[in-house]
Amino acid sequence: MPLVRVDRIPHHIAIIMDGNGRWAGRLGQPRTYGHRAGSEAVRRAVRACRKLGVSALSLYAFSEQNWHRPPEEVRALMDLFREFLISERQEILRTSIRVKTIGRVERLPPDVGQVLEALVAETRDLRGMTLQLAVSYGGREEIADTAKRLAQHAAAGRIDPACVDEAFFASELPSVGAGPVDLLIRTGGEQRISNFLLWGAAYAELYFSDTLWPDFAEEHLYAAIQAFQRRDRRFGRVASDDVHTGDPGDGARVHA
Ligand code: FPP
């Protein structure tokens, strides 16, 4: 197991969990078999992050674009989310995890939406770690939806357009409540952000792993954190500028 420094654990880790389909294909199994194994990897990652003292873990569970997958695959993923929320409820409560969702959750089937909404309400005041589940999520959509909402408020005279600066806009973005992303991990060998947390990941350290998501174990997470701890984070400044050491957008961080 790679060693990590306990004094420099990233506050906010975000993961693009890619490779379930290929993992299943290699075993001659349907894609849904890979998603089921992927949900076991989700359980492991949540536990490991909680143990390490991570403040927020954001998981890209389902993108807006994923609705275009075959209906049987979409339904299987929805069933897995529901199962995950039900089976993990006790542990989530016991370990004081606050579940939050980002994305157009109103698009979820009612049986999934209800379980999710109930767990979000039940865990609202827990502060051990925030588990931010991105479902029916897209970073561009989030920014566009927020811009539309602020434009409507401005048109109705509820806000002064002159107040809409970077900090104000960030404070209105649902995903930014969990704080800026420190470490963005993508599994499965591709090297792109795929519309995940576009605003919050502006200064994230990117870590790409060839491991397919169902194989992603605690040791892979430790390797990602170890790589993060070797990076020199300058946030556009010079290395010796030790007066400002955080993400310039850190004002919007709400610690879990
Ligand atoms: C991408 O792999 C993965 C997804 C679109 C879904 C992620 C879902 C899970 C990890 C399982 C359930 C989640 C929770 C929160 C319980 P892919 O299917 O695109 O893989 P491929 O690139 O190999 O085809």
Q: Would the pLDDT of 46 be above 60?
A: yes
Nearest residue to 131 (alpha-carbon basis) of 170, 193, 84 = 84
Using a 6 Å cutoff on CB, does residue 20 contact ligand 1? yes
Q: Would the pLDDT of 244 be above 90?
A: no
The answer to whether the CB of 59 falls within 8 A of the CB of 17 is: yes
Please give the share of the chain, as a percent, with pLDDT higher than 90.
88
pLDDT at res. 252: 46
Question: Annotated active-site positions, please?
Answer: 18, 66
More confidently predicted of 241 and 79: 79
The answer to whether the CB of 139 falls within 8 A of the CB of 176 is: no
The answer to whether the CB of 107 falls within 8 A of the CB of 136 is: yes
CA of 19 to the centre of ligand 1 (A): 7
Q: Residue 181: exposed, middle, or buried by beta-carbon count in 10 A (0-12, 13-18, 19+)?
A: buried
Q: Which ligand 1 atom sits nearest the alpha carbon of residue 84?
A: 16
Give the DSSP letter of residue 130. E
Q: What does the mean pLDDT of the chain come to?
A: 93
Q: Which ligand 1 atom sits nearest the alpha carbon of residue 38?
A: 10
**What does the alpha-carbon distance between residue 62 and residue 183 come to, in Å, rounded to a whole number?**
19
Using a 6 Å cutoff on CB, does residue 213 contact ligand 1? yes
Using a 6 Å cutoff on CB, does residue 17 contact ligand 1? yes
Using a 6 Å cutoff on CB, does residue 36 contact ligand 1? no
Q: Would the pLDDT of 251 be above 50?
A: no
Q: Would the pLDDT of 138 be above 80?
A: yes
Q: Average the pLDDT over 36-45 and give the result.
A: 98
CA of 184 to the centre of ligand 1 (A): 16
pLDDT at res. 123: 98
**What does the alpha-carbon distance between residue 225 and residue 245 come to, in Å, rounded to a whole number?**
18
